[in-house]
Chains A and B, each alone.
Chain A
Amino acid sequence: MIEIINFLQYSFVQRAFLAGSFVAITCAALGMFLVLRKMSLIGDGLSHVSLGAIALGLMFSSSPFYIAVPVVMLGSILILKISEKAKVYGDAAIGIVSAIGIAGGVILVSLSKGFNVDLFSYLFGNILAISKAEVIFSIILSFLVLLLLYIFYWDLFSATFDEEYAKTTGIKTGFINVLLTLMTAVTVVLSVKIVGIMLVSALLILPAVSALQFSKGFRQAIIFAIIFSVISVILGIAISFFMDLPTGATVVMINVLLFALSFIYRQIKT
């Protein structure tokens, strides 16, 4: 018990809980729309873009987020434009931009030999090392994404359920698609610090698919996804601390466990 109290008093743990919870909420809410629109892999593709973007950011600053966010946003627009204009399916467009991100990152790493260790922490996440400035940055951007999700909730819901019908009710579905992609880009960069580039898409997908196992409505599904996501991040940080495990991977494995439990619950119930 004393160990837990001591653990909670560490300022780096408090920072990790705070930033992790905000990002977890954002990932879960956004992830529900992505999963139901069959856009889950855009998170994976943009996380690869973030490799190049963070490598670029590390060349100019010790806090690469400020450069990574706009670069990954540009990458997300590129995915949309390629799939719209170049007779390329969405998944192929994600593959193209993802490859550009990884290739760009590898070239930048080879050109600048000084930040390989820093980049490694972004590959697999290290939320316990998050700085105060990064916490504030994460909270502000998460809040902004959540605010947009709240304001455009019904437009997003309608366009996700039936895009053609949404158009007939005057919803600008093109704008909604761009907005959703840009919000995903921002959220992916924020999630990199928690679970790392390699596991970002898990934070977007797993809470949503767990909630889908038994939810009885859209709003309820989002609330369950948020609960799963926050539990996984809080437990993941705590367990990784006490068992000396990598935080990002622990968060993802707790998410997998929650998905398995949800799936079993659904099977028993039906």
Chain B
Amino acid sequence: MMPIIEVKNLFVDYGKTNVLTDISFALEKGDFIGIAGPNGAGKSTLIKTLLGLVEKTSGNIKLFGVELEKFSNWNNIGYLPQKLSNLNPIFPASVEEIVLLGLLSQKSFPKMVTKGDRKKVNKVLTDLEILNLRDKMLSDLSGGQQQRVMLARTMVSNPEVLIFDEPSTALDPESRNDFFEIIKKLNAAGTTIILITHDTGYIGSYANKLLYIDRKLIHYGAIKEFCCHGDKIGQRFERTDGHIIWHQHE
């Protein structure tokens, strides 16, 4: 089966600083990949490079079998960025308007919103149990509600791959659990998930593969194999009640 995402010998530099060195991996349809690594390991850079937001220095990236430079079918990839806390508090956007943005990747020039698009928005808001928020201002919502709206924006185009960069940072523990349960259901329905999170317990609970990087690839494969490495990095992880706990201090 053709990999959905294929990365070969990826190098990324910021100026003279090397951020990613010789990263290679491939994702199959239906995978749930957890990306972990210490601060500054290049996790967000890796995701942004896959999305074309950061320019690679060398290497090869294929999305759905197409070279990144030639890829245009962006509605197949949903992205939930990290910076929810940076939302402009005076931005006068309703929930419906924000979720409609997720459909723009499907549209050709000039982009116009149709009744059908609004129906799609209603459906995704219903699925996420937030239809009652449709006409509210995003800035009037709680952190958990805002995150669901952003998830709705990511899901509305029905993408085959969903990429999450630290999605739970702004959430309280209850909202966090609800959020990860939603992601789990999406994966069970066949959506490929890529998840960066410091909550490595969630990676242990939900992901079937772990991509551990520290500027270079340390491990890619089953979580179990990583835990049983027995080396210095492997010992940072241990299982407790089905979760992986990452010890921050060596």
A interface residue numbers (CB < 8 A to B): 36, 151-155, 157-158, 161-162, 164-171, 211-212, 215-221
Contact = CB atoms under 8 A, between A and B. Distances in A.
Chain B interface residue count: which class?
20 to 34
Contacts of B92: 211-212, 215-218, 220-221
A155 B107 CA distance: 11
Contact of A217 (B94, B104, B110): B94
A187 to B, nearest CB: 21
18 contacts: A154-B111, A157-B97, A161-B88, A161-B91, A161-B101, A165-B153, A167-B51, A167-B53, A168-B51, A168-B105, A169-B101, A169-B104, A170-B104, A170-B105, A216-B135, A217-B96, A218-B91, A220-B92
Contacts of A217: 92-94, 96-97, 135, 137
B21 to A, nearest CB: 24
A215 to B, nearest CB: 4
Interface in B87-128: 88, 90-94, 96-98, 100-102, 104-105, 107, 109-113
B157 to A, nearest CB: 8
A168 B101 contact: no
Contacts of B79: 165, 168
Contacts of A218: 91-94, 97
Contacts of A154: 100-101, 104, 107, 111-113
Contacts, number: 80
B77 A158 contact: no
B9 interface: no
Given A36-B88, A155-B111, A216-B135, A169 B102 contact: yes
Contact of B101 (A36, A152, A165, A167): A165
10 closest Cβ contacts across the A-B interface?
A169-B105, A217-B94, A221-B92, A154-B111, A215-B92, A170-B74, A151-B110, A168-B79, A169-B104, A158-B101
Nearest to A211: B92
A89 to B, nearest CB: 18
Contacts of A152: 110
A160 B52 CA distance: 19
Q: Is the interface of A mostly helix, strand, loop or mixed?
A: helix
A167 B51 CA distance: 9
A227 to B, nearest CB: 15
A217 B133 CA distance: 13
B81 interface: yes
Nearest to B74: A170
A71 B74 CA distance: 38
B104 A155 contact: yes
Contacts of B107: 154
A155 B103 CA distance: 11
B72 interface: yes
B66 to A, nearest CB: 13
Nearest to B100: A154
Nearest to B80: A165
Contacts of B77: 168
Given A157-B97, A217-B137, 16 more contacts: A36-B88, A154-B101, A154-B104, A154-B113, A157-B101, A161-B88, A161-B91, A164-B83, A167-B52, A167-B53, A168-B51, A169-B101, A169-B104, A171-B104, A215-B92, A217-B96
Contacts of A168: 51-53, 74, 77, 79, 105
A36 B91 contact: yes
A35 to B, nearest CB: 9
Most buried by A among B53, B88, B104, B110: B104
A158 B104 contact: yes
A211 B97 CA distance: 17
